[in-house]
Amino acid sequence: MEKITFSDWNFADEINTKEDVAGMLEAVIDLAIQENDPEYLLKAIGDIARSKGMAQLARELNLDRSSLYKSLSPSGNPSFFTIAKVMDNLGFQLSVKQKVPA
């Protein structure tokens, strides 16, 4: 039997516009909340950051590259400030909106 291998899928490779990224991030945030698992969001932000270039991003944020990689890894535990800085650098802002009643 032939061995089948799979490569990791990176959604950042599949999106081309800021609107695509924003839509994906909104969906990932909803999924992370629904599944009670913040790793979904960390992975998504990490994938987007890597697609931009982690070394460049770290320089622009005055952060150590290896620390940024670690904090945005699925097992990372970044501060809210780090997430906000990364999102800002990627061209997004965090905001609050009132939840629509079910």
Residues 48-86: pLDDT tens digits?
A: 888 888 899 999 999 999 999 899 887 888 999 999 999
Per residue in 12-31, pLDDT tens? 667 778 888 888 888 988 99
Place of tokens 């005055």: 62
Rounded Cα gap, residues 78 and 51, in angstroms: 19
| Identity of the amino acid at 70 | K
How far does Cα 101 stand from its chain's mean position?
A: 27
Joined together, the tokens standing for residue 26 give 């909104």
Q: Is 91 left (phi over 0), alpha (psi -120 to 50) or beta?
A: left
| Model confidence, pTM | 0.75
How far lies 53's CA from each of 12, 65, 76, in Å? 12, 10, 18
